[in-house]
């Protein structure tokens, strides 16, 4: 089955310079969408991100700035915003008793306030043009299960998840769908940056009883493309009656029903 609902439609992606974000930009382009891809100025400066006829790269700090102006500019060029993906996020692995308040502020600014800034801007644009739309927040399986030394991160992702579900309830009457994809361990720089040596992947897959962390039943890490595929389904016309749902893409790691 080929997913539909992308051809010549405007899509807006945050966190687009990251591993999952880049996979999403590629998938949206391949499906025929016109894409505004955003990330922090530092992230964009670190890579080779080139505009095209149907692709624009823009700097955006989601924790500090609303994307309303960027969305308006994109709509003036490409037409109404129909698809939104919020994939921007930061990690924290500090034990909570050792974490300064500034760490809480840093993570919440991006993961929680950033979700508010971005998804409500998506919603305002979609309500204004009256054609419906779909948005997906890339959260984390940590939003639904306790993790050692990840309390701040997990709390921020739980906030992002519930904010998106509540927004979906408010926007349902406008024909706007709001869903969440919750990745587990995925082969991205965020994941590999936590590894101490070349055995990092094997340890994640096996799990660690001492830290109360189950392994991955499927016996492999996710790829960015695995996560992008789930997001693309939720954005597509084939998910036209799906809203406020939270799809875990973690190989069964959370043992969640």
Active site residues: 153
* DSSP code at position 188: S
Q: Is 38 helix (H, G, I), strand (E, B) or coil?
A: strand
User: Can you tell me the distance from the alpha carbon of 5 to that of 241, in angstroms, rounded to the nearest whole number?
Assistant: 14
* DSSP code at position 195: -
Q: Is 66 helix (H, G, I), strand (E, B) or coil?
A: coil
Backbone angles phi, psi at 84, to 5 degrees: -130, 135
Strand partners, 81: 10
User: Can you tell me the distance from the alpha carbon of 243 to that of 77, in angstroms, rounded to the nearest whole number?
Assistant: 28
Check if the beta carbon of residue 74 is closer than 8 Å to that of residue 52: no
User: Can you tell me the distance from the alpha carbon of 111 to that of 132, in angstroms, rounded to the nearest whole number?
Assistant: 25
List all residues 6 or more positions away from 41 whose beta carbon is below 8 Å from its beta carbon.
Answer: 59, 61
Instruction: Identify how many contiguous H helices and E strands the chain contains and give both numbers.
Output: 9, 7
């Amino acid at each position: 089955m080929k997913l539909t609902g992308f051809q010549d439609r405007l899509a807006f992606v945050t966190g687009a310079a990251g591993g999952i974000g880049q996979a999403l930009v590629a998938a949206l382009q391949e499906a025929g969408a016109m894409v505004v891809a955003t990330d922090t100025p530092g992230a964009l400066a670190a890579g080779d991100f080139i505009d095209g006829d149907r692709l624009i790269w823009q700097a955006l700090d989601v924790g500090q700035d609303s994307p309303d102006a960027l969305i308006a500019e994109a709509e003036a060029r490409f037409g109404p915003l129909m698809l939104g993906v919020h994939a921007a996020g930061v990690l924290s692995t500090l034990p909570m008793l050792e974490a300064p308040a500034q760490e809480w502020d840093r993570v919440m600014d991006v993961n929680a306030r950033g979700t508010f800034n971005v998804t409500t801007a998506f919603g305002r644009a979609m309500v204004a043009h009256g054609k419906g739309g779909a948005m997906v927040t890339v959260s984390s399986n940590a939003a639904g299960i306790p993790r050692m030394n990840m309390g701040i991160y997990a709390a921020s992702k739980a906030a992002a998840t519930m904010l998106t579900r509540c927004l979906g309830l408010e926007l349902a009457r406008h024909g706007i769908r709001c869903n969440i994809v919750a990745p587990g361990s995925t082969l991205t720089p965020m994941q590999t940056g936590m590894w101490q040596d070349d055995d990092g992947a094997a340890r994640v897959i096996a799990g660690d009883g001492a830290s109360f962390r189950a392994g991955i039943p499927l016996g492999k890490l996710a790829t960015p493309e695995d996560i992008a595929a789930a997001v693309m389904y939720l954005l597509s016309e084939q998910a036209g009656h799906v809203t406020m749902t939270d799809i875990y893409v973690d190989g069964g790691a959370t043992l969640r029903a």
